[in-house]
Amino acid sequence: MDNPNDQIRGANKDLRTRLMGIVTRKNLNAQLPKEDASSISEIVEMLITNGVIPTTEGGKSRESAEVITGMGDRVDRGEIITPVEFSNGTYTNAIGRFDTLLPDIER
């Protein structure tokens, strides 16, 4: 099993790539606060604001994006995420939320 930090880096990169694909297809790049440097939370917020992510999903999507961004920031700072902390479900559930939500939006 990969260490949690590697798994988080990989999952965050994949999610960010999927979100940016949606942003590009919807021609919303100019709406991003930091363009290519925007965080997952900032991208999700912009997609909610522009109606790409339905407002009914907005609250939970925001929460999930904050969990994902926060964990990614910790990894980027060099903090070691323990397997116990990683497996508590908060982060993996947040990633799973987008794995469930995005296919409909990506179509």
Angle between helices 55-76 and 90-106 (to 10 degrees): 130
pLDDT of residue 1 exceeding 70:
no
Average pLDDT, the chain: 94
pLDDT at residue 105, as a whole number? 94
For the chain, the farthest-separated pair of C-alpha atoms sits apart, in whole angstroms, at 40
Closest CA to 13 of 71, 59, 80, 54: 71
What is the C-alpha to C-alpha distance for residues 86 and 64, in angstroms, rounded to an integer? 15
pLDDT at residue 29, as a whole number? 94
**Residue 65: CB atoms within 10 Å:** 25
pLDDT digits (tens, 9 = 90+) for 45-81: 999 999 999 989 989 999 999 999 999 999 999 999 9
CA distances from 10 to 16, 22, 36, 82 (A): 10, 19, 18, 16
The model's pTM? 0.94
